[in-house]
Amino acid sequence: MTNLNFRPLWRYEDAWWEGVVTTLELTALAVLGGLALGLLGARALRSGHPVATRITRGYVEVIRNTPALIQIFLIFFVLPGLGLRLPPFPAAAIALSIYFGAYMTEIFRSGLDSIPKSQIEAGACLGLSRWQMFRHVVLPPALRNIYPSMTSQFVLLMLGTSLASQVSVDELFHAAGFIDSRTYRSFEVYALACAIYLGMAIFFRLAFAGIGKLAFRWPEGR
């Protein structure tokens, strides 16, 4: 059995860091795009407009029931045939935004639906405008209700950015593949990559839990 040796991996410290940074950048862009799509989608589902509702429902069902990797491939490999060629990073960011947006549409919708109609009617009786009602009556409890789901989906998206390596985005998993091809220490390389992903996931979960307790005054243990 070959002895484990992590030492050769540290010669590629810059590649590791670049992979982590690219992973976080890709995650941030996909989250921003997905949040925007999710808000628009939830709005469309609650609009009562039959066409908007059907289109949004179709978008959610198609995206949530097909592999994210195929969606990345469609944007990166198929769109050039239609005259739209995107570099790997933007293509992956758009695909992951669309993917994240489908899940956020349902999360936002469930959060808005969780607000009792009596609470909204009470705000209207107080003479609040639609914006004031949304800001003070609807948004705080809705955000509190969906916050755990949002943060869990964020972590899953961050881990899912590894799929972008299949279109040559220089994120963490792609960096690991490059280092493996240079060192031939496959176990050590992917064990370290796994540890980095695990560390980032735990960090964000703890950070989001702390933010949730401060923002929503959750009791200990939630």
CA–CA separation, 115 and 63 (whole Å): 27
Ramachandran category for residue 184: left, alpha or beta (phi over 0 → left; psi -120 to 50 → alpha): left
Structure tokens at 42: 């939830």
Task: Give the residue-averaged pLDDT of 202-217.
Answer: 89
| Residue 172 · residue 20 · CB < 8 Å | yes
Predicted local distance difference test score (pLDDT) of residue 154: 96
pLDDT at 170 over 80: yes
Q: What is the chain's mean pLDDT, rounded?
A: 90
Which residues contact residue 31 at a Cβ distance below 8 angstroms, ignoring those fewer than 6 apart? 100, 154, 157
What secondary structure does DSSP assign to 126-171, as a single string?
A: TT--HHHHIIIIIHHHHHHHHHHHHHHHHHHHHHHGGGGGGGT--S
Task: Give the residue-averaged pLDDT of 160-172.
Answer: 96
Predicted local distance difference test score (pLDDT) of residue 218: 52
| Alpha-carbon torsion, ordered 99, 102, 104, 107, to 10 deg | -140
pLDDT at 125 over 70: yes
Predicted local distance difference test score (pLDDT) of residue 2: 61
pTM score above 0.75: yes
Task: Give the residue-averaged pLDDT of 43-62.
Answer: 92
